[in-house]
Amino acid sequence: MKNLIAFCLLGLMTFQLQAQRKKKPNVLVIYTDDHRYTGVHALGGQAVLTPNLDDLAHNGITFTKAYLMGAFSGATCVPSRAMLLTGRNLFQLKGRGFDIPDTHTTMGEMFMKEGYYAYHVGKWHQDMKSLARSFNDGAKVSGKPAYLTDQFRMPYHDWEPNGNYKREHCYLLEYNDKGEVVSRPLTKDDKRGPTGTEKTGPHVSEVLADASVKFISEYKQKKPFFHYLAFPTPHDPRQAPKKYKDMYPEADIALPPSYMPQHPFDNGHIVLRDELLAEWPRTNEIAKQHLSDYYAIISHLDAQIGRVIKALKDSGQYENTIIVMAGDSGLAVGNHGLLGKQNIYDEDGIHIPFILSGGLVEEANKGRREDAFCYNYDILPTLCDMIGIKTPESASGKSLLPIINYEKEGVRDYTYHAYRQHQRAYRKGDYKLIEYVRAPDKDRKRGDIVSGSRVTQLFNVTKDPWETFNLADFPEYAERVAQMRNEMRQKAIELKDKSHDELVKVDFWEYYNTSN
């Protein structure tokens, strides 16, 4: 066993020396949207087909216990992206994460300071000033400043070095009578909603992959590049070309163990846009339809990621490129009676795929899986240590290089999660505690309301990864619940967990303490 470990360690040391001996390695970060851990076939063993993502896993290192820390917004992708880009935890962001202050060094700024050429393609969900300062150039900026909730009618904006992005400068890509892709301005008549089809115009995943392939294929500079490719898929609307939908007949879809027709209690955010995508209760037919759509858009996305990786190989740059693939959140798609990600169940909200791959991974490490706890905001300091550059002082994530180098089995012995003022979770060892409270809230239509339920859940997530059997009410687990509650409260104090929602300044712990 010692010889095996020594051999593996030697392989990683060779990788590090190889990266240092040549010019600094390129870095490609692929970030997907609402892509849960089991949304990669090689990771979760589900029916979804992802041959290109599987290949990244088979040729890289997968962190099987990677998580989103949580969110103070129903748009969980906002804080997720802010955490990824700054290496800061949820409670260190500005508010809900929509704005990145100048004092928070972004990943792009960090790489540019180290002599990299930084290039952005795709979704941006933070302020546009932070976008401008984080990259040298980019293409097909989407998500902001306009959005139509349609993957075939995505408004795009060309790169603006001064960050002056305006809706009136956005455009759509459509097919003309000859089947050619043409551009036209976005107008006030372009209504929101998934009305486009593959006959209307190119899918957003294809457009962004095109832009990425173009950048990689034409890149001739001596500087290494940092390329951030942010897909807005497989977020809803879960539209995909027909050939991908046909891969997943709805009648043949197997529902996961945590499927439920309805969530058993009010979790504090049970009524919002994501949960209104289908009627209640979530019948088998509804759940199968949504899961079929989810698998279809993932397989289509996978094909586009495959094109990007092929461009790296064809251009001769794959061998000197570190590839990071990660998702921004989990997604329920019928689990626990939910459709969205506004929760802190693992697959439904916080368990994400995270793969380190590329040509610099030595043979001894290909296909390796590490079950150490980590968050998405650990990616930034990990890349710094892998490349040998200084981690920004504003970052607080932990480098995973000691795990990669077999120096440590882990850098965290727990994870902590928060969702708005209603939900908190604490994971340690085999067990995960989730606590819910009933607390004040605001609703656009109903005004001031009170929502949520005082509920405790305890899961053995090693034996019950889909979180189907609540142990909290069994007497034999009372001591464990009490211990984990105490530890969770202590971690909340250490993390300075308090309301970070600028709109609803309600502290979870105020309502948790008064109900215990």
User: In terms of Cα–Cα distance, which of 269, 287, 268, 267 is closest to 277?
Assistant: 287
Contact 287, 255 (CB under 8 A): yes
Global pTM value: 0.95
Cβ neighbours around 281 below 10 Å, total: 12
Cβ neighbours around 23 below 10 Å, total: 12
Q: Are strands 225-230 and 26-32 parallel, antiparallel or unpaired?
A: parallel
Alpha carbon dihedral 8, 64, 62, 217, in 10-degree steps, equals -160
Q: How far is CA 302 from CA 50, 179, 212, 344, 509, in A?
A: 6, 24, 14, 26, 41
Going along the chain from its start, the domains and CATH numbers come out as: 26-405 (3.40.720.10), 414-515 (3.30.1120.10)
pLDDT of residue 22: 59
Look at the chain and count its residues: 516
Whole-number Å distance between alpha carbons of 385 and 366: 20
| pLDDT tens sequence for the chain (516 residues) | 434 444 444 444 434 434 444 589 999 999 999 999 999 999 999 999 999 999 999 999 999 999 999 999 999 999 999 999 999 999 999 999 999 999 999 999 999 999 999 999 999 999 999 999 999 999 999 999 999 999 999 999 999 999 999 999 999 999 999 999 999 999 999 999 999 999 999 999 999 999 999 999 999 999 999 999 999 999 999 999 999 999 999 999 999 999 999 999 999 999 888 998 999 999 999 999 999 999 999 999 999 999 999 999 999 999 999 999 999 999 999 999 999 999 999 999 999 999 999 999 999 999 999 999 999 999 999 999 999 999 999 999 999 999 999 999 999 999 999 999 999 999 999 999 999 999 999 888 888 999 999 999 999 999 999 999 999 999 999 999 999 999 999 999 999 998 777 777 899 999 998 666
User: In terms of Cα–Cα distance, which of 232, 75, 213 is closest to 148?
Assistant: 232
Structure-token pair, residue 313: 């190989």
User: In terms of Cα–Cα distance, which of 193, 194, 173 is closest to 185?
Assistant: 173
H runs (alpha helix) in 22-145: 41-44, 51-58, 77-86, 107-113, 128-134
Cβ neighbours around 407 below 10 Å, total: 11
Whole-number Å distance between alpha carbons of 229 and 232: 10
Whole-number Å distance between alpha carbons of 85 and 72: 17
Angle separating helix axes 284-314 and 204-218, nearest 10 degrees:
10
Whole-number Å distance between alpha carbons of 115 and 117: 7
What is the DSSP code (8-state) at residue 156?
B
Contact 467, 345 (CB under 8 A): yes
Contact 56, 368 (CB under 8 A): no
